[in-house]
Each structure stands twice: as structure tokens, then as C-alpha cells.
Structure 1
Amino acid sequence: MKIAIVDDEAEAREELQQVLRSCGIALVEQADCWHYASGEEFLAGFQPDSFQLVFLDIRMEGMNGIETARLIRKQTANLPIVFLTSSADYALEGYQVFPAGYLLKPIRQGRLQLLDILQHCLPQAPAVLAVQWNGRKLQVPRARIAYVDVKGNRRVGGRRGCVVHLLADRELAVDTPYPEVAAALRAADFAECYNHLLVNFAAVETLLADGFELKNGERLPISRRLYREVSRDYMEYLLRK
């Protein structure tokens, strides 16, 4: 995957690349990022199939981001364009070129907004969790997962790994370490609500004062330290749905 970052501030380009490198979406973290200091520089060698995603600063010296986007749209209607801006003044004008979204600077403060935009404009990740189970590869449909934990940092049977709990009151003691599973599910509406406890928001029936009640009747705790963040993320999930 190739991503273009077009911004006349070198520091802003580097900041965005660092956030993309740690966003938790493998396709983005492993992408080839190209930096451009102006719209003119970007358009000089642009081809419709050159990139799969473009981040475009609106306020730049010379050709601004909206003018650049209009010229991009003359060549392709499908390339996702995400505008970068320090104010919403250009929002109405910018929507005439059908952007995938807007990100307010500084980018680090809009990390959740960035993840939401990426999830909607990128090719959809496989709706399965790939794990190692008894020495062989297994694909578990994400929709069937209620939560993931480690049961004392050791999987059932004594070997290191984690436990994938299914909505059908079954559990899979897998060999894949918890950090790998958490990284694979981070951008798929799963959230860590307690230490080494990852819940699937789609499996939640009710948000309680101290935890979640799941659709299968189980209750999971939410740590005091994480409650505000996790409850906010869950409410944002409900609004998206």
C-alpha cells in the first residue's frame, strides 16, 4: 500500500507518519509513505493508480489542498482523500471533492478520529482472527468472539498463549500470545477493559457502572483507570452503528 502525505510543514508530515506507524492497522503500519511539500510537487508525477490513500493539508503555500483535490478528482473519483486542517472553515467547500474525512491538527490528538476514517476508507480487514491452535492455523470469525483473556498469563493446559471466549459459551485455548491477538483486534471494535482482558463491543448488551454485561449473560469488569476511556469508545461505537 502507498500513502501520500502532502503538507508544506515537514514536522506535520513526520508527525502524521509516526501516528500511522502506530495506529494498529497492519495494512497502514506497513504502508510505503511518500512525503510532498506542496500540491504542485505531488501532482507533478501523479497517476490515478499511484496511491491508495492521500492525506492533503488544506492550507499550503501556492496551490492549496482543495485546489489540489479538484485536480486529483479530474483524474480519479475513487482515491480516498483525507484533508488535514487547523480549522473547519473550509469544510463546506472541501466536501465538493468528496473527501474521506477531515483531521484537525495536531494529529496526535485526533487518533480515534483517524482510526474511524481509516476503517471506513480502507479495504476491509478479514472478519476473522487468525491464531495458532494445537500447532495448526485456525481462523475464528470475529463476530463469534465475546472476549479474550489470559487466565493468569497462561492458557488452559499450562502453555503460554491466551483464551478466546466465544459467545456460544465455548473457549479456545490458543497458542498465539495475547499481545499478538490484541494487536490484530485493536482496530476491529475490540477494547481492553481490564488488564489482559479484551472485549468485543459487538458482544456487549449493556454498559454498567463497573463493567459490561454481555449478550450471553456474562459480566466483565472495567478497571477504574480505564473506565472513562473505554465507556467513551463504546459510546462512539454505538453511534457508528
Structure 2
Amino acid sequence: MQQSVNIAICEDEAAETKLLCDILDHNDIKNSYTIFTDADSFLASYERDKYDLLLMDIYMKDSMTGIEAVSMIRKKDADIPVAFITTSRDHALESYRLSAIGYIEKPVSAAELNNVLHLAMLKKADAPSLYIKRNGALEKLAFSDIMYIEQRGRQIFIHMKDNTEIVCYEKLSELSSQLPAELFFLPHKSYAVNLSYAMHIDTDLKCFVMTDNSNIPIKRELTAKARKALESYFFEYTRSRL
């Protein structure tokens, strides 16, 4: 199963946005996209690991420039692939400083955009991942896309960040050896939680409260370890952003 590239498009010109969407809609690489008409609205909704690619217009009316917006993004996310879209090459050197994977002049060509999509797909394919067996084949799921894993009887239910659910016949006790301890915590024999999607621990209910508002139970004897694991994750995440 081909992975999908989740794209943020930040462009204020309707004609250019339509052109981008037309190319993406007819691309061989599976993708989805969200459109923003100014940098401020994009920054207000931005979350780390939410997108696999950012297509950023450099010049936008009534908004900060794309260079300024990506400079702010880079302070908290050094990894998201960015391609700048522009009417000139005046900011090419700045784009390389911001580790852009593409610098596309308008009007955008399908060939140039396809190249950027391919690079983003390769980067996503190289992401640290969980390997599962499903439908007779080995499948790869990026850790950053997994919210939590749940064992129900003989089946594993993998809850993804896009609110989809992947079901397979596996054992959590065997899959857990693939999960990095600094990112995943097993609060119960039937659950593994991605700490990046845990908002806090409800000490009364003894559970992780996730970003989708689901509650993941914590065994009483693991409550202190769960709290320490989440605090350590928050500390390391904050320190990495400084």
C-alpha cells in the first residue's frame, strides 16, 4: 500500500492554488492537501509532524513572507520538507539556508512539483517505522503517524493520527520490541501510547488523555513510571526546540 503525502499549501493567489491542486489531483503519488491563503493562519494551526510537505509561496499580500514564516517553523521543526514557490529567484540562497528541498518558479510545472513530491515521499519512507504483517504482506507505518496501539483478543488496532484505524493479527508483546522507549510507553498489557500525542495524565481516572480525547488506561502500579516517561518526553522535546 502506497503511503500518502500530506501537504500544506500556503498560497494567496487563486489561479496558482488551482494550478497546484490540479497537478496534485492528477499525480501518481497519493496525496492530500490543506490550503492556507496567508502565512499567519498556517502558523496558527501548525503542529509538528502534521504535514509531510509544505509548499510555501514567498510573496503574499497582507502577510509575512514565506521566508519569514519558514524561519519561524524551523525553530521548532527542522525536519518538515519545504518547497518555496515564487515569481523570482531572489531568495534562492535563503531557501537553501532553510534546508528547502525545492525552489519552484511560477507558473508551477508538473515536472518540478512531481520532483518535490518524490523527494518528500522518499523522506517519509526513510522515517523510523513500525513493521506489521497484514493481508499477507509486510507493511511499514511511520512512528510519527501512530497515536496509540491497542490489543483486542488476537487483533491489533493501530490508531493513526489522521483518525483512521489499521487492524492486523499480531501480538503487542512482540511488536513492542520495535517501539523506541523514549517515544512509546506501555501503560497496560493491551496498550502502547505514542507520548507525542498524549496531552496529560488524568490522575483520578488513571489514564493518558490523548489529543483525540481518548483515554488510555494506566495500571495502578505503572502510574509513577507513566508520569515520569511523559515528563521526560516533554523535557526532551522542549530542549530540542531551543
- Bin the TM-score by the shorter chain: 0.3 to 0.5
TM-score (norm 1): 0.47
